[in-house]
């Protein structure tokens, strides 16, 4: 939806083209981060240590929470989103540099 809204109304001024390019850069960074992920996403590691007060016994428990993606196509989809957004930003920068007014 964001990409369609930026393509639908082409900016007429230099300020409009650079503002749209800057507006899409965080989306490119987020899609690159999502594309660099693996099929197993580690959510958190929790280590609990229980110390007995009357004895010298110590118990340690480690809990690992993770999310396993069932369909690994999302890595490719986010990588494609990254390339599309970067291509759009580069075309806006070229348009900014070549536009007269």
- Residue 8's contacts (CB-CB under 8 Å, 6 or more residues apart) are none
Q: Which residues share a beta bridge with 66? A: 42
pLDDT per residue of the chain (101 residues) written in tens, 0 to 9: 555 655 666 666 677 777 777 888 888 998 888 888 777 777 777 888 888 888 888 888 888 888 777 777 888 888 999 999 899 888 888 878 887 76
For residue 86, what pLDDT is reported?
92
CA–CA separation, 34 vs 23, rounded Å? 18
């Amino acid at each position: 939806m964001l990409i369609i809204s930026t393509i639908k109304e082409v900016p007429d001024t230099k300020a409009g083209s650079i503002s749209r390019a800057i507006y899409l850069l965080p989306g490119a960074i987020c899609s690159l981060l999502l594309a660099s992920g693996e099929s197993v996403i580690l959510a958190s590691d929790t280590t609990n240590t229980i110390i007995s007060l009357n004895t010298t016994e110590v118990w340690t428990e480690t809990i690992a929470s993770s999310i396993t993606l069932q369909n690994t196509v999302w890595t490719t989809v986010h990588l494609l989103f990254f390339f599309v957004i970067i291509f759009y930003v580069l075309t806006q920068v070229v348009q900014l540099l070549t536009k007269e007014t």
